[in-house]
Structure 1
Amino acid sequence: MLSKKLHSCRFDANDICRISSALTKILNVTAKRQVHDSSFDTSHELLQTDSGPVVPSRPLPLIIQKMDYPSRFAPPKQAWIESLGTIEDEKLGTIDLHPEIFGTYPRIDILHRNIVWQRNYKRISHAKTKSRAEVQGGGRKPWPQKGLGRARHGSIRSPIWVGGGRALGPRGPKSYFYMLPRHMRVLGLRTALSCKFAQNDLHIVDSLEIPSDDPAFIEELLDTRFWGFSALFVDDTDIMPRNISLALSKVPQFNLMPVYGLNVYSMLKHETLVLTLAALEKIQQKILHQMHKTSLDRSFKNERVRY
């Protein structure tokens, strides 16, 4: 039908010129839009246009939206992905953070219980006093039982004598080890991460690679970006990059930590928390697994279950 209508229409020279000019404008606009969209492409291939090759001006922003166990009641939190390659703040993109981990209500009592537990579970008291059996001397009766008008005593090393033993003194070494319930430890990590995120003290970086092992570089970087006076850098493995390991070894207020050692006390001790993308993924994976698991975790496999 359309072809019949076109054949039935009669075009003069002016109509053909107007149609050709309109098509030329449409092609030019389309080419400009393609060049503009390709400037955000991560590939470095040259785009051929009428005016010549065009090099992309900047890379595509990195947007990570993958998330396990998505929440039905709260939208995800968003954070910038930064780089440690330059002193100035360089944004590489954004990443979605799980709201149940980085949007938890700040339970100060849970943080306090975690801090008390971490300070006490490795504490061992070596205080020890001697009993009356361990004090030297006092083998004989100091005076007869009767006849002298004195009080009755059997040994000068009795606890009521000066220089005697102690009846109920400490008998070290004594361990103060105890385990905080698992759900309180997980909630403590969630609360600490949420507090750091809410106070803008949590930063996500692509990696811990820095161009120099000079401590002045990392100090100037934190000073320029206003990251505070102390920082904790966390990666997914305990094999850290060489430059940042040498740089932070000479600065006592900056520390490196693998993700399996992350704890509430260390996060609150440092002003700024810096996580790599790999460490962030592993932290979210481990915490979400503990929050949503349904199987019973037994510490002793050979333990007999009694009903």
Structure 2
Amino acid sequence: MKAPLYNPNGEQIGEIELKEELFGIEPNLHLLWEITRLYLANKRQGTHKAKTRAEVNASGRKIYPQKGLGRARHGDVKAPIFVGGGKAHGPRPRDYYTEIPTKLKRLSLLHSLADKAQNGRILVIEKFEFQVPKTKRMAELLDKMGLNKDKTLVLSADYNKNLYLSGRNIPYCDVIEVKDVNSLEVLNHKYVVIEKDGLEKLEKRLAI
């Protein structure tokens, strides 16, 4: 399996071999669904809350006598049956966080990258050369690589401040280090552009 290789100016200069035993596996879609559900759940604040009848700010007096009017029996206006009353069995604050096993994180990353590779959506660049931050140059580079303003994940081999600053103001581009990537980031973008040195680091990480 191969991926296109580009020089720092965004010109294709050939192809690079991707390890078949890593990028050639059959993507497990159910695994990707399950891990995505967990990642998204872990992002939730869980601060949702509705007031119960005990928490609603209103009078606690009985609205009319129990007997004699021929109407249904009621207590105060805070009962859930009334508009403006408390909510019965409403949402309460809770923690959605679930610890994701390291093995599952690695496996899901492997399968998400395999899916991208098999659909021709992994591109490799020799090196990102940004002496100073330049958003315009970054946008031109991605456009020259034929990405057409589609959502793109840029993976740098190491921390590159100029690269990060060049890409952070482009709405369809996200820049992170290879060591920080996970399957949710990969699946959330159409293309993955990775530095050549970063690809080697990624393959070592996935081969463990």
Shared fold, TM over 0.5: yes
Unaligned regions of 5+ residues in structure 1, if any? Answer: 1-76, 290-307
- How far apart are the structure 1 equivalents of 2:82 and 2:168? 56
Residue 88 of structure 1 is aligned with which of 11, 15, 33? 11
Question: Are positions 1:158 and 2:82 aligned together?
Answer: no
In the other structure, the counterpart of 2:113 is 193
Question: Which amino acid in the other structure matches residue 179 of structure 2?
Answer: Y
1:280 CA displacement: 2.1
Residue 56 of structure 2 is aligned with which of 131, 135, 142? 135
Residue 170 of structure 1 is aligned with which of 91, 95, 100? 91
Residue 202 of structure 1 is aligned with which of 118, 122, 127? 122
- How far apart are the structure 2 equivalents of 1:227 and 1:167? 51
Question: Are positions 1:118 and 2:39 aligned together?
Answer: yes
What do the CA deviations read for 1:97-128 (whole angstroms, capped 9, x no partner)? 43332111022222222332222221124332
Question: Are positions 1:269 and 2:188 aligned together?
Answer: yes
1:182 CA displacement: 4.2
- How far apart are the structure 1 equivalents of 2:161 and 2:74? 72
- How far apart are the structure 2 equivalents of 1:122 and 1:201? 26
- How far apart are the structure 1 equivalents of 2:161 and 2:192? 18
1:145 CA displacement: 4.7
In the other structure, the counterpart of 1:58 is none
- How far apart are the structure 2 equivalents of 1:142 and 1:270? 57
- Normalising by structure 1, we get a TM-score of 0.56
Change (3 A) 1:103 1:177: same
Change (3 A) 1:220 1:149: closer
What do the CA deviations read for 1:230-268 (whole angstroms, capped 9, x no partner)? 43221233x3053x3443244222221012321223223
Unaligned regions of 5+ residues in structure 2, if any? Answer: none
Question: Are positions 1:284 and 2:203 aligned together?
Answer: yes
What do the CA deviations read for 1:186-238 (whole angstroms, capped 9, x no partner)? 2321112112222222122332224775444444433333244243221233x
- How far apart are the structure 2 equivalents of 1:156 and 1:179? 43
- Normalising by structure 2, we get a TM-score of 0.78
Mapping 1:35-50, distance limit 5 Å:
none
More contact order relative to length (CA 8 Å, sep ≥ 6): 2
Percentage of identical aligned residues: 30
What do the CA deviations read for 1:49-96 (whole angstroms, capped 9, x no partner)? xxxxxxxxxxxxxxxxxxxxxxxxxxxx45565421x343234x845x
Contact 1:248–1:255 under 8 Å retained in 2: yes
Aligned length: 207
1:282 CA displacement: 2.5
Contact 1:229–1:271 under 8 Å retained in 2: no
Provide the secondary structure at the position in 1 that maps to 2:12.
coil
Change (3 A) 1:131 1:281: same
In the other structure, the counterpart of 1:99 is 20
Superposed CA RMSD: 3.1
1:150 CA displacement: 5.2
Contact 2:164–2:176 under 8 Å retained in 1: no
In the other structure, the counterpart of 2:142 is 222
- How far apart are the structure 2 equivalents of 1:129 and 1:241? 44
